[in-house]
Structure 1
Amino acid sequence: MIGCLCLHGFTGSPYEVQPVTDYIRDHTDWLLSVPTYPGHGEKLKLRGITHKLWIDEAESAFLELRKKSDTVYILGFSMGGMIGGYLASKYGCDKLILLSASAYYMNPSQMVKDIKEMVVKGMQGNLKDDELYQRYRKKFLETPLRATFEFRKLVKTLKPSFQTIHAPTLIVQGESDGLVPRKSAEYLYKTIPAQKKKICYLKESKHMICHDVEKDQLIEEVFQFLMEQS
């Protein structure tokens, strides 16, 4: 049995990776595990929650999946990519996929472009119909500052793990991402010592890469990588 652990990002939920997980469910008989970290989900309750609890939840899901699977793949989006890399380093896995993984975060030049775009949409009265904008707005309003510090602690703590990852690795990065810059993907590619590794850039995609305009290309890259013989 093949098991696939799919990890969402900071302040997110399984929705963030749902297009990929839905495709895998529809085209394989694999066992999927898509945990939700404490305080996360559609209703955020992050006050008093530490980054260690997020890691523990993902680790528990991984260990449970490993009991039931002969082969284990890990797919992580954004912060989930950092946690996925940590698990791949600590326990090993058969393949690792990092989507917009946040080894570095905040891309000022792209954020300026995104803000200008939102201003234009706002003047046209279209922001209320923009699902991704509404989700980001909700996250911003419901995320305590302390939770952001916990996210930063997590990145700092887990970053060294990538120096000992030997599983075949696919890194996918949106070039129009305002939260995670291109240098994050470049850093991960240079740092991970795996013999087999690949980096893929999606020119038009922003941070929510699984839901953006190139999601079909993303799904194709991910599925092809997972189906390749090691």
Structure 2
Amino acid sequence: MTALPATHLFAGPEHQAFALPGTTPFVLAIHGFMGTPAELRPLAHSLADLGAAVTAPLLPGFGNEVQRLSTVTAKEWLDCALQSWQQVRARSNGAAVLLGFSMGAAIAVQIAALAPPERLVLIAPFTRLLPGDWRVPFLPLARRVVKELRPFANADFGNPSTRKVFEAMNPALDLDDPTVQAALREVRLPLSALDELRKTGQGALRAARHVRCPVLVIQGFDDRTVPPWTTRRLVERFAGRVTLIEVPGDHQLVRLDHPSAELAFRLIGQYVTGGLA
């Protein structure tokens, strides 16, 4: 059986960094953990339709670089996004908006503390890895012993939710092909990457108290990846004005088939263009 390289999951051009032309405002959009700019394209196009110029970088160790994820650090994610942000700000004449989804939101909070945007948009902002799980504090030690996990080893490829996850990565994958299924079960996730993800969330919690720009937060009621209570705790830390809007649905608020996508996209569009206080 021929092995399917992990990079094949992200082979399409939609997973690459992109920049949609526009006039104002200028928006930097940062994707989530194990995601790529592809997950932000629907939202980015909705903002571009309103006149915004939207840039989305590909963070190190994701997409076609996923095979080097085991060597990437939280600092590299932050540095990459910060460099993109500085370029966007330089072109914006002050009308620059920072937007992040999930882990991207945690990175955006840290950037906002260092180089404040005009406005900050956080979608399902990640801050805590597996909240309440007793194993999380042992990650710095465990990563030295257990090098990797197989997150899809027991995946049910007949489950609609599971299929949506892989279709988002690569719609061209034939999930009914036993060869593809076997290869996906062999995909490895470095434990070190989870520890760097944990550090990224902690960095956001520390940075939040230094964020004074207006903030819009969109959070799903049924989010199990980023439970609503963790987002409420984050919101309490901000120094400036925060608008928290909780909507029906799970973590994937940026997907077009999410039950609250239309509402979330409209609210974000209004906020980014100055129509929502």
TM bracket, shorter-chain basis: 0.7 to 0.9
Q: Report deviation, 1:106.
A: 3.2
Q: Separation in 1 of the partners of 2:189 and 2:98?
A: 27
Aligned residues: 214
Residue 96 of structure 1 contacts residue 169 of structure 1 at CA under 8 Å; is this kept in 2? yes
Residue 6 of structure 1 contacts residue 75 of structure 1 at CA under 8 Å; is this kept in 2? yes
Say whether residues 1:25 and 2:48 are aligned partners.
Answer: yes
Match of 1:37 among 47, 54, 59: 59
Q: Which moved more, 1:80-89 or 1:156-165?
A: 156-165
Give 2:253's aligned residue. 209
Say whether residues 1:106 and 2:130 are aligned partners.
Answer: yes
Q: Separation in 2 of the partners of 1:140 and 1:99?
A: 31
**CA RMSD, Structure 1 to Structure 2 (Å):** 2.6
How has the CA–CA distance of structure 1 residues 228 and 135 changed in structure 2, closer, same or farther, with 3 Å as cutoff?
closer
Q: Which amino acid aligns with 1:192?
A: F
Deviations 1:152-186 (A, max 9, x none): 12222332110011111001111111111111220
Q: Which amino acid aligns with 1:132?
A: V
Give 1:62's aligned residue. 85
Q: Which amino acid aligns with 1:197?
A: V
Residue 120 of structure 2 contacts residue 214 of structure 2 at CA under 8 Å; is this kept in 1? yes
How has the CA–CA distance of structure 1 residues 126 and 104 changed in structure 2, closer, same or farther, with 3 Å as cutoff?
closer
Match of 2:205 among 124, 142, 159: 159
In structure 1, the gaps of 5 or more residues are 109-120
**Normalising by structure 2, what TM-score?**
0.70
Q: Separation in 2 of the partners of 1:140 and 1:64?
A: 38
More helix as a share of residues? 1
In structure 2, the gaps of 5 or more residues are 1-23, 133-154, 170-180
Give 2:26's aligned residue. 3
Mapping for residues 164-179 of structure 1, pairs under 5 Å: 164-179=210-225
Q: Separation in 1 of the partners of 2:53 and 2:84?
A: 12
Residue 74 of structure 2 contacts residue 199 of structure 2 at CA under 8 Å; is this kept in 1? yes
Give 2:102's aligned residue. 78
Give 1:111's aligned residue. none
Deviations 1:41-89 (A, max 9, x none): 2662212111111111000000111111111100100111111111111
Q: Separation in 2 of the partners of 1:140 and 1:184?
A: 32
Query: SS of the counterpart of 1:85?
Result: helix
Query: SS of the counterpart of 2:28?
Result: strand
Structure with bigger gyration radius: 2
Q: Separation in 2 of the partners of 1:146 and 1:226?
A: 35
**Normalising by structure 1, what TM-score?**
0.84
Say whether residues 1:199 and 2:199 are aligned partners.
Answer: no
Give 2:165's aligned residue. 132
Query: SS of the counterpart of 2:254?
Result: helix
Q: Which moved more, 1:141-150 or 1:69-78?
A: 141-150
Q: Which amino acid aligns with 2:53?
A: L
